[in-house]
Amino acid sequence: MPQVQRNQEIITKPLSGAIGAEVTGVRLAEITDATFAVIREAFHTYCTLVFPNQFLTIDEHVEFAARWGEFSISPFVTYLESHPAVLPLHNRGKAGAVTENWHTDSAFLDEPPALNVLSARDVPVGGDTMWSSQYNAYERLSDGMKAMLDGIRGEFTGARLASLVGASEVPSNFHPIVRTHPETGRRALYISKPVDTLTRFEGMTAAESLPLLNFLYQHSVQPDNVYRHHWQNGDVVMWDNRCTMHYAVHDYGDDVRDVHRVSIKGSVPR
């Protein structure tokens, strides 16, 4: 496991053997360009970063997220009128939860989000979020499986989200099942929940594709490839949507859960 790293006052502590690190000794609302460079390096190393006790205002949240690039806006969801890049995530009840499965966000877009920044404003006991490393998922495949998947694309769909709002048009896109991260150059498995958000391989039927999609899905989220975060008010957590999947647990009944998300636009997966 990587060791605790110190850069001046910034302390980066790994949170699991596979993915995630806690970053302390920094106030995100007041960072310099030099501090941001340290955070960026840690982000590319650990893929998911946790910043406790930040308690960002909405403007501070937006300002920090803007350092990472252009905002990404997804269909079928409603953003704050005062801050059109900020998506408020509230308790919609377990039946209305759309993230209680392993997935990558908005992969049905031409240019899916590169990363997400969440700010916890009022969170209950429970409501954990888990992340899995898609770098590890790819690297743990056999050479034969890697060769077979090379160049194969999958059809990612927004059908589940569209159905929740009664939309008649369902967006979809074909993207590589194995993608190369545009900044690190590392290869990662790029999948999402079969059937609901990833329907089939290009040139194959859904029935033909499903057994292998299910294998890849289960392979990606073994316990030794996962970090599970217990939210606290004031937490800021960000993750790389290009090399992780995540799962938001709904085990908090009707309790209040108020979290804000800002997403950063990515590029066409290659």
Check residue 49 and give its pLDDT.
98
Cα–Cα distance for residue pair 268/260, rounded to 1 Å: 25
Residue type, 261: R
Which of 13-27, 94-108, 161-175 holds the top average pLDDT? 13-27
Sheet strand arrangement including 10-14 = 5-7, 10-14, 21-24, 48-51, 236-240, 113-122, 258-265, 87-89
Is residue 154 a part of any domain in this protein? Answer: yes
Better pLDDT: 163 or 70: 70
Cβ contact 136:17 at 8 Å: no
Q: How large a percentage of the chain has pLDDT more than 70?
A: 97
What is the model's pLDDT at position 181?
Answer: 98
Both tokens of residue 221?
């989220």
Domain presence at residue 194: yes
What three-state secondary structure class fits 90?
A: coil
In a domain, 270, yes or no: no
CB 269 within 8 A of CB 179: yes
- The whole-angstrom separation of Cα 87 and Cα 262 is 6
pLDDT digit string (tens) for 189-201? 999 999 989 999 9
- For residue 170, what are the contacts with CB-CB under 8 A and spacing of at least 6? 157, 158, 159, 162
Token code pair at residue 254: 């009707």
Q: How many domains does the chain have?
A: 1
Confidence at residue 1, expressed as pLDDT on a 0 to 100 scale:
44
| Residue 51 located in a structural domain | yes
d(CA 227, CA 202): 31
Q: What confidence category does residue 98 fall into, taking pLDDT thresholds of 50, 70 and 90?
A: confident
Say if residue 265's pLDDT is above 80. Answer: yes
Question: DSSP H helical segments within the chain, as ranges?
Answer: 33-46, 58-66, 134-139, 143-149, 159-165, 206-220
Contact between residue 63 and residue 69 where contact means Cβ atoms under 8 Å apart: no
pLDDT, mean over the chain: 95
Domain that holds residue 95: 5-265
pLDDT attached to residue 135: 98
Average pLDDT over residues 94-108: 91
Q: Which residue has the higher pLDDT, 31 or 95?
A: 31
Distance CA 260, CA 224 (A): 29
pLDDT score for 26: 97
Nearest-angstrom CA–CA distance, 226 and 12: 18
Residue 131 lies in a domain: yes
Q: Which pLDDT score is estimated for 3?
A: 58
| pLDDT tens per residue across span 207-252 | 999 999 999 999 999 999 999 999 999 999 999 999 999 999 999 9
Return d(Cα 20, Cα 15) in angstroms, integer. 5
Band of pLDDT at residue 180, cut at 50, 70 and 90: very high
Write the pLDDT tens digit of every residue in 28-49: 999 999 999 999 999 999 999 9
What CATH number does the domain containing 207 carry? 3.60.130.10
- pLDDT for residue 198: 97
The pTM of this model reads 0.94
**pLDDT for 155 beyond 70:** yes
Per the CB < 8 A criterion, the answer to whether 133 and 244 are in contact is yes
